[in-house]
Amino acid sequence: MNLFDLARQTVEQARRLGAEEASVSVSRSAELSLMRRAGKLEQATQATSRGLSVSLLVDDRFSAHSTSDLRPEALREFLERAVAATRVLEPEVERRQPPAELCGRGVSEATLDCVDAGYADLPVEARREAALALEAAVDALPDRGRILSATMHVGDSSDQSVRVMSNGFEGARASTGFGAGVEITLEEPGGRRPEAMSWYSAHHRGDLPASGFIAKEAWDRAAERLGSHAIASGRYPMLLQRQVAGRILGVLGGPLSGSELHQQRSFLAGRLGTQIANAAFSLTDVPDIPRGLGSRPWDGDALVARTMPVIEAGVLRNYYINTYYGRKLGMAPTTGGRSNWVVKPGARTPEQILRDIPRCIVVTGFLGGNSNGLTGDFSFGVQGLLVEHGEVVEHLSEMNVSGSIEEVLGHLVEPASDVYTWSSLRTPSLFFDAMQFSGS
Amino acid sequence: MNHFLSFGIDAELCRRVLAVALSRGADDADLYFEHSGSTSVALSDGKVNRASTHVDLGVGVRVVVGDQVGYAYTEDLSEAAMIAAARVAAEIAEGTRRTAPVALAPRAVADRYSAQQPWEQVDLQTRVALVREWERRAFAADARVIRVETSLGDSFKHILIARPDGRLVYDYQPMTRGWVVCTAEAAGKKESSNANLAQRAGLEFYTPERTDRMCRKAVDDTVALFEAVKAPAGEMTVVLGAGSSGILLHEAIGHGLEADFNRKGISIFADRVGQRIAPAGVTVVDDGTLPHARGSINTDDEGNEPQRTVLVDDGILRGFLHDEISARHYGVPVTGSGRRESFRHVVLPRMRSTYMDPGPYSPDEIVQSVKRGIYCADFANGQVQIGAGDFAFYVRRGFLIEDGRLTRPIKDVNLIGNGPDVLATVEMVGNDLKIDEGGWTCGKDGQSVPVSQGMPTVKVSKLSVGGVSA
């Protein structure tokens, strides 16, 4: 099946059925995942998959549809129903596609470098060996005997997709993905069985860390949870570890979006150009990072991907505005959703920062919690470490951190230098001079 | 079964594919065919301005050898594609013993959720009229409402499960969910909240009484936030309101009793069957059989009959939620808890409708017994760590309890505790068990399944409230 042919045919068919605009994406993917436990391959999944999605404008009425049933007669029936469903809605001219000149590729596939050329020839045996290597690395840990259970995960995928729009845009994308992880459960007196996972993913197989590194990290994180408990409620300085910083920074996602601004559910409404964070904090949306996990040549509306400052030295510079909400809000569209988020690092390592602080909570993980985008208030369960002058003195659990995101960003006084590159959130660990924790 | 004939699937074809799945000496196998569809319409800015439909079709082939699972799926229901998937799944087995599947015979299932007005027969104009009506009711309920968004989703799933022991089980699983989001403004302050309803039912679910309750709840919950203060911080007594506080059971104990975690020894409850884990009077049930409940099923996704499973009986831990693999591991009967998100996913032991049986106290008596604490009325989400037993749930709206009375409203606070510790401190159980009609979805290992939960009013201690220090 040629993906472009199917997408073009579907656009044409939709137009023949009465749609004045249509945008069609067709994708094909392959996935393989292996899980080993207790010396055995416990689970192996392998599949190829496909799907088609279409959004329509019929008499200025908008709808969106998807199907995995690509048999020609089923697809025709699907489209007929989709067009008919659209007609019963109310018109909204804001849903029209963006002008063709705003759409296109902002960065070449070669620069994005999201395809590992070795994927096609990778034998299943190589994946089995990768899982075995992780298991061997766990078995080689000095304290192997204290592990109650260890589970090894190895997986990879390949995705191809094309998009054809009636405004003339056509584009194709491809990517490969590889992942490796270890989950370790320990046991402590009293019956608690603290668990932790170390998981890495990358577009290129060679970019994954060594098995020994992953096994050691899973061990360290589980061991950090042994004997954990709550300490007294109060205000403490906080070092937020880079891998988990997304839980706090993610609170910004909703309030920055055009939909929440339009629905008057954003505490960031009317704040463009004003200080919303400490001057130490800068956040940029960067879509063209080679091999970046959030990299892309165009966005959800097929708008050309461009680097966009979000927060510059604490000042709010841009919202996430797609074509539709741009028209609704009378604002120029930026982009509808984030690509890579890059936080500007500082000069010192987390260790250097901690050495100078008499008493600090290092947050290493979150448990539950949520936020209110209209007020910016949040409350999250946390796990972590109590650190005095750089020395770990307690393992913490059953605590919450609460506050308003704006107050918190004001206290973000120093980003560390240790930028994390294994995620679309590229942030260093972040140091806050005071946060509200509740515990015992 | 009749449904799948139109795709060219019949009992003999299933048997041929199963034979390939078993060809390398597996213990067992299954085919899980799925044809699903969904429709939704949504209203915002005073217009019904968005519709969407989704269709999914495919088959998953699972091959089981002891605790080991080989899995493959395809969206192509041609015999060649299914045989190819069966070959891939069979690679988990490395033997030569060949068992042949026996002739397949359809098996009838219970009927827990037949729709009087199935969504396939409801035209889109009727759906459009419903979301308009919800919008009208929400605006009419309070003059401070400035924005309303409503949506109606409905879906169906035809599933067919074929097993080498001859079982051929078909089920039709309908679902609907209504949603109202509301934003209100007063004295320059804005607040927003939402309410939703879900059931395995047709159009008849949306009675005027239910619809009114949903719209009123969205508005009442929103305007209540104007008065709300930040919650206090630290460990305190918590009263959980009847209904959606079943989220506490789901997180504090439900996940920890899913037998796959226990088979691997990674749940804090792994060695506690037969032991007292809660005071007398605490009985916790996970039930797949409640009529029309979102978490109910006529068959589980391995073709087994769902049970009403008593997990904790008068404070004693009785057992786990099993799929076939864990039941075989423990040598106990299955509980009909094997579920999967779709044909793209392996079966796991999962919850269905989890609730606590009622106790002797009136809700008022329970609140009156608390000197200082908080009362939880509305919940958003929760999470648990299976091994450590720590769990959390997020309270959207509640009240302070001062000297036995509900006083100031509170909002947006995370509560955290340890499952066994909290269960051991259930102090009072109310007589007002209510199964929540909200659209709860449970996530595990990247798979989402619909669930229900329920609770009488309950008083517990040993929960840490993530508020602000006084």
Q: Which pLDDT score, from 0 to 100, does residue B234 have? A: 92
CATH class of B2-107: alpha beta
From A170-174, B94-98, B197-201, B428-432, the region with the lowest mean pLDDT: B94-98
Distance in angstroms (rounded) separating the CA atoms of residues B418 and A60: 53
Query: Do A126 and A239 belong together in one domain?
Result: no
In a domain, A7, yes or no: yes
Which tens digit of pLDDT belongs to each residue from A359-386?
Answer: 999 999 999 999 999 999 999 999 999 9
Query: Do A219 and A123 belong together in one domain?
Result: yes
Query: Do A238 and A172 belong together in one domain?
Result: no
Which tens digit of pLDDT belongs to each residue from B337-380?
Answer: 999 999 999 999 999 999 999 999 999 999 999 999 999 998 99
Which tens digit of pLDDT belongs to each residue from A304-327?
Answer: 999 999 999 999 999 999 999 999
Query: Do A39 and A126 belong together in one domain?
Result: yes
Number of domains in chain A: 2
Inter-residue contact A363 to A386 (CB < 8 Å): no
Average pLDDT over residues B2-19: 93
Inspect the interface and report whether the beta carbons of A43 and B68 lie closer than 8 Å. Answer: yes
Which tens digit of pLDDT belongs to each residue from B406-461?
Answer: 999 999 999 999 999 999 999 999 999 999 999 999 999 999 999 999 999 999 98
Q: What is residue A266's three-state secondary structure?
A: coil
Query: Do A78 and A151 belong together in one domain?
Result: yes
In a domain, A322, yes or no: no
Confidence band of B114 (pLDDT split at 50, 70, 90): very high
Q: How far is CA B409 from CA B100, B144, B180, B375, B469, in A?
A: 64, 18, 22, 9, 17
Inspect the interface and report whether the beta carbons of A44 and B147 lie closer than 8 Å. Answer: no
pTM, two decimal places? 0.95
Residue B451 structure tokens: 């669930």
Q: Sort out which chain B residues have CB atoms less than 8 A from A248's CB and list them.
A: none
Query: Do A391 and A364 belong together in one domain?
Result: yes
Amino acid at the residue B375: Y
Q: Which pLDDT score, from 0 to 100, does residue B97 have? A: 72
Percent of chain A with pLDDT over 70: 100
| DSSP characters over A306-318 | --EEEEETTEE--
Average pLDDT over residues B108-120: 94
Query: Do A153 and A27 belong together in one domain?
Result: yes
Query: Do A181 and A133 belong together in one domain?
Result: yes
Confidence band of A1 (pLDDT split at 50, 70, 90): confident
The answer to whether residue A231 neighbours chain B at the CB level (below 8 Å) is no
Q: Which pLDDT score, from 0 to 100, does residue B246 have? A: 95
The chain-wide mean pLDDT, for chain B, equals: 95
Q: How far is A159 from chain B (nearest CA, A)?
A: 16
Q: Which pLDDT score, from 0 to 100, does residue B88 have? A: 95
Query: Do A139 and A240 belong together in one domain?
Result: no
In a domain, A85, yes or no: yes
- Residue A187, H or E segment: none
Q: Sort out which chain B residues have CB atoms less than 8 A from A193's CB and list them.
A: 265-268, 270, 386-389
Average pLDDT over residues B253-269: 93
- Domain residues for A129? 3-223
Sign of CA dihedral A298, A301, A303, A306: negative
In a domain, A289, yes or no: no
Domain ranges of chain B: 2-107, 119-155+175-226, 233-466
CATH number at residue A54: 3.30.2290.10
Q: Which pLDDT score, from 0 to 100, does residue B470 have? A: 54
Gyration radius of chain A's alpha carbons: 24
Q: Which pLDDT score, from 0 to 100, does residue B6 have? A: 84
Amino acid at the residue A269: A
Smallest Cβ distance to A398: which of B91, B393, B416?
B416
Q: Which of A89, A247, A379, A408 to mutate to test the interface with B (most CBs of B within 10 A)?
A: A379
Count of Cβ atoms closer than 10 Å to residue B212 Cβ: 14
CATH topology of domain B119-155+175-226: PmbA/TldD fold (3.30.2290)
Task: Write the ipTM.
Answer: 0.94
Inspect the interface and report whether the beta carbons of B392 and A381 lie closer than 8 Å. Answer: yes
Provide the Cα torsion A303, A308, A310, A316; round to 10°.
-100
